Amino acid sequence: MDRTDLQRLTKEELIDLVLRIQRPEKTSRTSSRPPSSDRKARRDRAKPGGAKAGHKGHSRAMSEDAD
């Protein structure tokens, strides 16, 4: 939404928009949501799992006479 879109809004629509922006984010402390639904702060900073770039893979050699 840019400046011209905001200028086209009525006074009531603008008030609703400002109130919606100022409303705090719902968490388990500010609503009836369970604590398990909260976003964990550590998860945002966590590194992705798996093999890292440039890592050479390795595996066991297959046996010629398998049991």
For position 44, what pLDDT does the model report? 67
CA atoms within 13 A on the CB side of 48: 4
Quickly list DSSP for the chain: --HHHHHHS-HHHHHHHHHHHHSPPP-TTTSS--GGGSPPHHHHHPPP-SPPTTPPP--PPPPSS--
Residue length of the chain? 67
Question: What digits encode the pLDDT tens for the residues 24-64?
Answer: 777 777 788 788 777 766 666 777 777 788 888 888 888 88
- Residue 16 confidence (pLDDT) above 80: yes
Site of tokens 């006074």: 11
Please give the residue that has the higher pLDDT: either 7 or 51: 7
